[in-house]
Structure 1
Amino acid sequence: MEADVCRCGWVNTDPLYIDYHDKEWGVPVHDDIRLFEMLTLEGAQAGLSWYTVLKKREHYRKAFDGFDPQQVAAYDEDKIAALLADPGLIRNRLKIRGTVTNAQAFLRVQEEFGSFDRYIWSFAGGAPVLNRWESLKEVPASTPESDAMSKALKKRGFTFVGTTICYAFMQATGMVMDHTTSCFRYFEVQETPAGTK
């Protein structure tokens, strides 16, 4: 970790975490598969730390068929039981069942709007909201936009989409730009083309 590089205060010294912060967090995501992945992982994080989930992400990708919502939506009881027995996952029955439920709801949104991307980005007005937080203390846990997203997703049958989870999802997928102003990524992310790393 370069001593002279200033990063957001939540980043620890693990190269995996640094890489996630430096290359992914806050970069606008418009790919439906990646959006489903992030929605799933943010839901899996409930009650835990993002670091815990991040360390398991590669295993989650394998276990959940690359987060293909079409495949996940079709999981039966045997598949759910196998996932619950998988030590590489967060073995919470509600979260794993919720992923299947969310995949089904996700497909319905895709069918109605043409893509999940088109639907979900409407909560940010279709473009990243650029914030100017000087310290982590200023960054909110939720906003009226994440409240609206949470309410709308719950109405459509999604689970593990409380307003705090929704705001974390918005931050991760670049719907809001919450790198602090002292972070070296603050200006870089604003110049990064959507969907790239």
Structure 2
Amino acid sequence: MKIFSVAEMIAAEQAAAASGRSYEAMMEAAGKAVADLLLARYEMAGQPVLVLVGPGNNGGDGLVTARYLAEAGANVTLYLWKARQTEDDIVFRQAVALSLPVLLAAADPDGGRLQALLGQAAFVIDALLGTGTNRPVTGQLADILRLTAAELAKRDHGALARLHSLQEWRPAPAARPQIIAVDCPSGL
């Protein structure tokens, strides 16, 4: 597997576009590759999958991945950092056509719904930011990433973590989900 630097990735995308390959076709290929990898490694049917979707092409890659996983029987939920333009956004329309649950971050101001989704997910797909990110993460996105990190940290603890007596025993949180980043982890 070749790992590209940001500059190499941008150059590769530009070369593909110059040769006539559309960004939609590139998103389709990237999203399908992520889904194919997951489907080859895991039994995805019935698995709760949370896709964190950004507004750009990386989010588009995640939407394609979501579509393929849903078609394979996974229980996919989309959490959108920002609204996507439905008229021009083919990959979003395709995901919505599958009746996937969609939650917009603006409709979840305290992050409670995101927290609940993270608590149930067996897989979290990070399609928030891609290789083109060139500024610090702030505002609502920073809040989403902080809440995500905190919720996932809760799931790192085993059943006997901090157990002092049987009277204090509580069921442990589910094991930490598999986290898959499209391009690179957001906030890196």
Shorter-normalised TM-score: what interval?
Answer: under 0.3
Structure number with higher helix proportion: 1
Q: Which has the larger radius of gyration?
A: 2
Instruction: Give the TM-score of the pair, scaled to structure 1.
Output: 0.25
Q: Which has the higher contact order (CA 8 A, sep 6+)?
A: 1
